[in-house]
Amino acid sequence: MRLTVLGCAGSFPGPESPCSAYLVEAEGFRLLIDFGSGSLSTLQRYVGLHAPDAILLTHLHCDHMLDAVSYVVVRRYAPDGPYPPLPVYAPAGAPDRLAAAYGQENSTVEDVYQFYGLEPGTFPIGPFSVTVDRMNHPVETYGVRLEHDGRVLCYSADTAPCDALVRLAQGADLFLCEASYLDGVDNPPDLHLTGREAGEAATKAGTGRLLLTHLVAAWGSEAHTLESAAAAYTGPLEVVRAGATYEV
């Protein structure tokens, strides 16, 4: 598997990166996981406007899904379009939320997207075996485990500490984990992880490599987040950047 980070800014786009979007490729199939604010730009820069063969939205917070609304225009009105409906795996409310955000009265986006509701379990998307489970976040949110050819990539989505995250990441070769919060601050509960908590989850799960994401550039400190994660996890560790690629 090959992972390309299209966007990794937490909560709102940062000066150096759009919000969450990750392209995972195997056998020529391209799965886009999350499609946050601004990431339609880097989709074009790093892979191509029509690259995705399927989309998975972990949850319906705008920093994880809003550019799936802009992408309706790309699919529906392309000079060589309209393009055939693209599979979208997402929480059950996605069709209405995307249509509402698109903003036309009585509009639908189901000419552009073929929706599949997520629920905890394992299912195939293209060449990937995909397992999703509910995370600890205020809206219906799914962490994702992708398996292909004996290799495992796990993505936390947004979550506070929970057993489901550790189960999902168990033995993953690469663990892409959010680290939104700084340690030592009075953080709201049941929302996000600190670097230390991401490191603790990686250690409990025995992951091979930890990639930290979803830092909030304006409020955080990359150095602090790395340091606190390294105090809890001794494996290879880094903060991801838009445009970075990883072989899994």
Q: Is 214 in the site for Zn ion (CB under 5 A)?
A: no
- Binding region for Zn ion (CB under 5 A) out of 54-62, 72-80, 107-115, 196-204: 54-62
Task: Name the helix (H) or strand (E) containing 87.
Answer: strand 86-90
Q: Considering only residues 25, 67, 158, 178, which one is a binding residue for Zn ion as defined by CB under 5 A? A: 158
Cα 44 from chain centroid (whole Å): 18
Quick check: 178 binds Zn ion (CB under 5 A)? no
Contact between 52 and 23 (Cβ < 8 Å):
yes
Among 61, 97, 134, 214, the residue binding Zn ion under the rule CB under 5 A is 61
Does 192 help bind Zn ion (rule: CB under 5 A)?
no
34 interacts with Zn ion by CB under 5 A: no
DSSP state of 63: H
- Distance, in Å, from the CA atom of 166 to the CA atom of 157, rounded to the nearest integer, reads 13
Question: What contacts 21, CB < 8 A, 6 or more positions away?
Answer: 5, 6, 7, 32, 33, 34, 35, 36, 39, 42, 43, 67
Binding mask 100-139 for Zn ion (x = CB under 5 A): ----------------------------------------
**Number of chain positions touching Zn ion (CB under 5 A):** 2
- Specify the residue, 216 or 248, whose C-beta has the smaller distance to Zn ion: 216
Q: What residue ranges bind Zn ion (CB under 5 A)?
A: 61, 158
